[in-house]
Amino acid sequence: MIVSNRAPSVDGSDDSGGLVVALKDALAKDGGLWIGGAAQQTERPSASLVLHHRADFDIGLCEMESGLYQDYYLGYSNSVLWPALHGRLDLIDVQPRYAAAYREVARRLARTIAEAVAEDDLIWVHDYQLIPLAHELKALGVKSRIGFFLHIPLPDLQTFKAIPDWRDLARWLADYDLVGFQTQRDLGHMINIFRHTLRGELRANGNMGIDGREIALGCFPISINVDGFRRLADEGAADTPPPPLPRLIGVDRLDYSKGLPQRLAGYEVFLESNPEFHSQVGLLQVAPPTRDDVDAYKEIRSELEHLAGHINGRFGTVDWTPVQYIHRALPRDQLAVLFRLSRVGLVTPLFDGMNLVAKEYVAAQDEADPGVLILSQFAGAAEEMPEALIVNPHDPQDIARAIKAALEMPLAERVERHGALYSHLRIHDVDHWSAAFLKRLLSVERIGVDGVAHFPGLEPWAAAG
């Protein structure tokens, strides 16, 4: 059973956002039930899940009142946790009703799940919107194994402590059987937080002992359906003409964590210091709207539009528009072709759990004539993709230098860097990610109230024997 705030659309239409894109690929293979809390707002919510059947898997939606949902989603999740976990303490907006709504949504979801779950079901909870869920499920007597995966970064202890409810959050995380992270960086932060807050002790097997229980921890870098995305690029590229000029591409939800103004500032420095590239290159930035009702998101939108207009006004000519900006989601097959036909992929978040766009860009390339990935040192993907051109997204000069190096990189070097990135990706795809997490969750040994070790799928006597 997968549980997340955002579930894929019931009609299968285009979804953006790494969580839905990756899980859709993972679940489509084996089927299952995906329980989602978002987008089902009604003043008379049903006490049970509202079920929808898709060809690939089932979706169960938990209804809730819109006021409650706003305080939980726009409020606690995206005005407190999202900025805090991305290290943007300046953007946190703490209101007392937000924390209460966050807890209440977890309670509601737990009640609907408790009704539907069987003891040997595995429950896999996703992301910062639902941290208290295991706590609430256990309070209702649910005995299933419960794993949690954090898609976004976990900051260091000092930053974490800026969240008013940090102690509760740490305790709720310790209620899971397995907690997974995108990177070693985040895993290290969790160990430190558990040590400091709950006197956790790191065991030789990498698990953490807390209050007489053992919690498994692990690093599971999320990925994409590499072969599927590559196929989309191959098919589309066959009948799409290449762009008139070499293209740089950026594809990101319009989120302040993605470093979009900093990216444009880097592009501006590049144009300023390399006049020979004027009219010889173009930047396409695709940035669909996201969480529009939160003020910080309104601000980033107008900042980006202002900067794009500024660069076009400063350098553009009658025949050349240096920045093309599209503010909506595009179908995946179109994205795959755009990546394939772009000379440079720009992925420069200020802080990111993983960043799937980096992996999509690499998967979409033609191995014989690949483009170059420019990647922020603060994207989780940088731990796995050292052959990209790694940049500091806060330094426009560094971005400008990398753009020039990418555009001038000889074919042999492009092929070598891409080859290394692509062969890593082909093994570490989204199936590898979900299989690794579920295998670890299944192997977690649980000490029951009777003090006996229980192994999944085995009666205690069988495990002991």
Burial class (CB within 10 angstroms; exposed 0-12, middle 13-18, buried 19+) of 17: middle
Instruction: Yes or no: say if 174 and 132 are a contact pair by the CB < 8 Å rule.
Output: no
> Measured from the CB of residue 35, what is the shortest distance to ligand G6P in angstroms?
14
**What are the angstrom distances between the C-alpha of 365 and each of 231, 314, 397, 414?**
11, 32, 27, 11
The answer to the question of residue 21 lying near ligand ADP (CB under 6 A) is yes
Stretch that binds ligand G6P, among 14-22, 184-192, 298-306, 366-374 (CB under 6 A): 14-22
Q: Mark out the alpha helices in 82-123 (DSSP H runs).
A: 82-85, 96-116
Q: Which of 218, 261, 288, 316 touches ligand ADP (CB under 6 A)?
A: 288
> Measured from the CB of residue 44, what is the shortest distance to ligand ADP in angstroms?
32
The residue annotated as part of the active site, out of 25, 71, 352, 429, is 352
Residues 46-65 that bind ligand G6P (CB under 6 A): none
> How many Å apart are CA 323 and CA 313, to the nearest integer?
10
When the beta carbons of 23 and 122 are compared against ligand ADP, the nearer one is 23
Residues 196-255 that bind ligand ADP (CB under 6 A): 251-253
The answer to the question of residue 294 lying near ligand ADP (CB under 6 A) is no
The site map against ligand G6P for 147-186 (x = CB under 6 A) is: ----xx----------------------------------
The answer to the question of residue 111 lying near ligand G6P (CB under 6 A) is no
Q: Which of 25, 63, 71, 127 touches ligand G6P (CB under 6 A)?
A: 127
The answer to the question of residue 372 lying near ligand ADP (CB under 6 A) is no
- Reduce the DSSP state of residue 344 to 3 states and report it: strand
The pair of structure tokens assigned to 299 is 């601000």
> Measured from the CB of residue 198, what is the shortest distance to ligand ADP in angstroms?
29
> How many Å apart are CA 305 and CA 289, to the nearest integer?
13
- Give the list of residues 6+ apart from residue 412 with CB closer than 8 angstroms, or none: none
Closest-by-Cβ residue to ligand G6P is 17
The answer to the question of residue 396 lying near ligand ADP (CB under 6 A) is no
> How many Å apart are CA 2 and CA 434, to the nearest integer?
11
> How many Å apart are CA 424 and CA 359, to the nearest integer?
10
Q: Which of 10, 14, 17, 32 touches ligand G6P (CB under 6 A)?
A: 17
Determine whether 352 is an active site residue. yes
The pair of structure tokens assigned to 73 is 């989603």
Q: Calculate the CA 184 to chain-centre distance.
A: 16
- Give the list of residues 6+ apart from residue 211 with CB closer than 8 angstroms, or none: 174, 198
The answer to the question of residue 6 lying near ligand G6P (CB under 6 A) is yes
Residues 314-333 that bind ligand ADP (CB under 6 A): 329-330
The answer to the question of residue 335 lying near ligand ADP (CB under 6 A) is yes
Q: Which of 3, 19, 110, 190 touches ligand G6P (CB under 6 A)?
A: 19
Determine whether 428 is an active site residue. no
Residues forming beta bridges with residue 344, ordered by sequence position? 248, 372
Q: Which of 329, 340, 328, 344 is nearest to 239 (CA)?
A: 340
Closest-by-Cβ residue to ligand ADP is 18
How many residues bind ligand G6P (CB under 6 A)? The answer is 10
Stretch that binds ligand ADP, among 72-80, 304-312, 349-357, 405-413 (CB under 6 A): 349-357
Greatest distance between any 2 Cα atoms in the chain: 80
How many residues bind ligand ADP (CB under 6 A)? The answer is 18
Instruction: Yes or no: say if 364 and 229 are a contact pair by the CB < 8 Å rule.
Output: yes
The answer to the question of residue 401 lying near ligand G6P (CB under 6 A) is no
**Run of H or E residues at 168:** helix 166-173
The residue annotated as part of the active site, out of 86, 135, 151, 428, is 151
The answer to the question of residue 338 lying near ligand ADP (CB under 6 A) is no
Q: Mark out the alpha helices in 248-378 (DSSP H runs).
A: 260-273, 295-315, 332-340, 356-364
Stretch that binds ligand G6P, among 16-24, 48-56, 170-178, 235-243 (CB under 6 A): 16-24
> How many Å apart are CA 278 and CA 131, to the nearest integer?
49
> Measured from the CB of residue 379, what is the shortest distance to ligand ADP in angstroms?
9
> How many Å apart are CA 147 and CA 383, to the nearest integer?
23
Give 116-152 as a DSSP string.
H--TT-EEEEESGGGTTHHHHHHHTT--SEEEEE--S
291 binds, among ligand ADP, ligand G6P, none (CB under 5 to 8 A by kind): ligand G6P
Stretch that binds ligand G6P, among 15-23, 181-189, 223-231, 307-315 (CB under 6 A): 15-23
The answer to the question of residue 290 lying near ligand G6P (CB under 6 A) is yes
Residues forming beta bridges with residue 50, ordered by sequence position? 61
Give the binding site for ligand ADP (CB under 6 A).
14, 16-18, 21, 251-253, 286, 288, 329-330, 335, 354-357, 360
Q: Interface with ligand G6P by CB under 6 A: which residues? A: 6, 17-20, 127, 151-152, 290-291
Mind telling me the catalytic residues? 151, 352
